[in-house]
Amino acid sequence: MRKKLIGFILLSLVLVMAAGCSGSNSGTNASQSNEPQSSAASKEKRTVTFATIAGYYTDGLKEAAQEYTKLNPETEVVIDVIKDNDTYQANFKAKMAAGGKDAPDIVHINLIGETSSADAIDKGWLLKLNDYVNQPNPYSGDKTVFEGIDPEYHQNTYSRDGDVAYLPFDLVGTGFYYNKDIFAKLGISEPETWEELLAACKQLQDAGYIPITMPFGFESTITQAFLDWSAKSLYPELLIQPEDARYDEKIHKLNTSIAYSADNGNFDFGASYDPEKQLLALKNKQYDMQGAAQRKIWTVMKELSAYYQPGYATMQDPDVYQLFIAQKAAIYWNGSWQVGTLLDDMKKLGDKSFGWGTFKFPEFAEADPLFPGKPRGILVPGHLLGIADKKDPEQESRTKDFMMYLYSPEVAQRVFETTLEAGQFVQGPSLVLGVKLPDEVNAYLTGFKVDGSMGYAIANAVPSSDTNQAKQSAQLKYYEGKLSLEEFLAEQDKILNRDMDIYIKAQQYDLDPKTNP
């Protein structure tokens, strides 16, 4: 389950960061009909299918589906629980390739196998929701669909072409969990700096504990946060601007008002980057992958790796989690989706339970101009719900009506409550306005409320490739002392440049943002 969650959040990040943000006027038309979807539905019996993954608010969604069907007996809503990400993707692709009639109606667009929502729309897989989000929701006092969703995250829903591709349901983040009882016994305070964290790890190790545990594949969320911290001042130079060939007023107007500020962790919220500028930043060493910032990042990472669990390179997330829950490991780096699971497991442990909390990605003890402002982290929409384009207006109407029901405050509130009561996880705070999580849950989520959501203008300049294994191999050799820091960075840079050359050739880029792509 937890391995699936890691894949889910990484896909969420790719989709959110790849989306071109067009501003609140993009793709919407207030003159469209405001008739609620349900009024157009016939009395013919139909089924609306919501495909999800085991544990993803499963009990809450099933309850909502049953209650909706009671209100609308002509429409049965079925929650189709699929075992894993790979099966989900293969199932959806096969059914859409066969015409889409038997495909699910509501999907997690994170899981359908497309890293771009625009591509999924172009293929005819997803509906554009441009007009839908401005229609009144009869289950929310006739507020529009968008008015019922946190406005700060409307920007995330737009594709690069300015179309609304999905509705966000919740937020997800990453942070450090820690065992408060172990910390108290050893007199360790909650770390606020990297120096304090590393000192705490040394003290924990000396006391016989595994200081920190995490799935090795998830370690990249730490290194990416470091990379963002050191590179974010460069981001405004990489934006698509009016003089660039890719510029579209409807989609990229927001870029013209974005300016770097060390004091504003969300200065680049909604930014759209020019892929050739991103590549040039690495090619021309505007950001040097062998420079001083990278040397500091990987010096810290090697020191941290000395405190990982034995066998960390191959250990799977369920086993990693067990080390923390069994109190063998004192710190656990993972995502906000674990809060509900931990609360439930603590109840099951009874008198063997322990106090636990969360803390944020630390700062450095002394300000470093290479790392300006505060560090950021992952804080993005998690569940991204889209509607499959089945070329059936009646089916579309009924599906949209259930989505309105699901995004009403009362129903969304109950989905969260039922999920927690069932001991399943919620990923983080709800983006449906009016939904309140219990104080206990909110207290544990403080470690995930970072200064802002990190950007990927440098980290994602080159798409992931088959060379990731080679990069990881070099990283392990460095951690094991088989490569010096200089040798490791040189090897990483060599792999990156090879990947860039392959990507530039495949995309037929001339590395001039002012010419037609």
pLDDT, tens digit, for every residue of 287-321? 999 999 999 999 999 999 999 999 999 999 899 99
Same structural domain for residues 293 and 158?
Answer: no
Residue 119 CB partners (closer than 8 Å, separation 6+): none
CATH number at residue 288: 3.40.190.10
**In this predicted structure, what is the pLDDT of residue 28?**
37
Beta-carbon count within 10 A of 487 CB:
13
Domain membership flag for residue 244: yes
Selection from 269, 378, 247, 261 nearest residue 24 by Cα? 269
Q: DSSP E strands: which ranges in 74-226?
A: 75-82, 106-108, 167-168, 171-179, 210-213
- Predicted TM-score (pTM) above 0.95: no
Indicate if the pLDDT at residue 37 is higher than 50.
no
Report the alpha-carbon distance of residue 213 to residue 177 in Å, rounded. Answer: 10
Chain centroid, CA 496 distance in Å = 24
Report the alpha-carbon distance of residue 205 to residue 208 in Å, rounded. Answer: 5
Same structural domain for residues 122 and 182?
Answer: no
Q: Residue type at 319? A: D
Same structural domain for residues 450 and 323?
Answer: yes
Q: Of 102-106, 465-469, 489-493, give the lowest mean pLDDT range.
A: 465-469
pLDDT band at 35 (very low <50, low <70, confident <90, very high): very low
Give residue-wise pLDDT tens across range 144-159: 999 999 998 887 888 8
Which of 370, 400, 427 is the C-terminal boundary of a domain? 427
Q: Residue type at 114? A: E
Same structural domain for residues 179 and 312?
Answer: yes
Indicate if the pLDDT at residue 427 is higher than 60.
yes
Same structural domain for residues 134 and 77?
Answer: yes
Q: What's the per-residue H, E or C state across 218-275?
A: HCHHHHHHHHHHHHHHHHHHHECCCCCCCCCHHHHHHHHHCCCCCCCCCCCCCCCECH
**In this predicted structure, what is the pLDDT of residue 31?**
32
Domain membership flag for residue 435: no
**In this predicted structure, what is the pLDDT of residue 30?**
33
What total number of domains does the chain contain?
A: 2
- Mean pLDDT value across the chain: 88
Domain membership flag for residue 434: no
Same structural domain for residues 334 and 415?
Answer: no
Give the residue carrying structure tokens 């040097």: 288
Distances (CA, A) of 201 to 303, 351, 358, 359, 414: 10, 27, 16, 14, 40
Which of 427, 461, 485 is the C-terminal boundary of a domain? 427
Same structural domain for residues 322 and 407?
Answer: no
Domain hosting 303: range is 174-379+441-517
pLDDT band at 13 (very low <50, low <70, confident <90, very high): low
Which of 427, 454, 487 is the C-terminal boundary of a domain? 427
First to last CA, the chain: 41
**In this predicted structure, what is the pLDDT of residue 297?**
98
Higher pLDDT pick, 457 / 469: 457
Same structural domain for residues 323 and 244?
Answer: yes
Q: Residue type at 172? A: V
Give me the mean pLDDT over the 26-55 stretch.
62
Beta-carbon count within 10 A of 191 CB:
20
Sign of CA dihedral 307, 312, 318, 319: negative
Indicate if the pLDDT at residue 34 is higher than 80.
no
**In this predicted structure, what is the pLDDT of residue 460?**
86
Domain membership flag for residue 433: no
Selection from 309, 305, 307 nearest residue 321 by Cα? 309
Domain membership flag for residue 155: yes
Contact 140, 407 (CB under 8 A): yes
Same structural domain for residues 351 and 371?
Answer: yes
Indicate if the pLDDT at residue 23 is higher than 60.
no
Give the residue carrying structure tokens 């946060």: 225
Same structural domain for residues 256 and 309?
Answer: yes
Indicate if the pLDDT at residue 214 is higher than 70.
yes
Q: DSSP E strands: which ranges in 22-152?
A: 46-53, 75-82, 106-108
Helices (H), 258-408: 275-283, 292-305, 317-325, 338-349, 393-406
Q: What percent of the chain has pLDDT over 90?
A: 67
Give residue-wise pLDDT tens across range 62-95: 999 999 999 999 999 999 999 888 899 999 999 9
Domain membership flag for residue 29: yes
Domain membership flag for residue 432: no
3-class DSSP state of 141: coil
Domain membership flag for residue 436: no
Same structural domain for residues 239 and 163?
Answer: no
Same structural domain for residues 339 and 387?
Answer: no
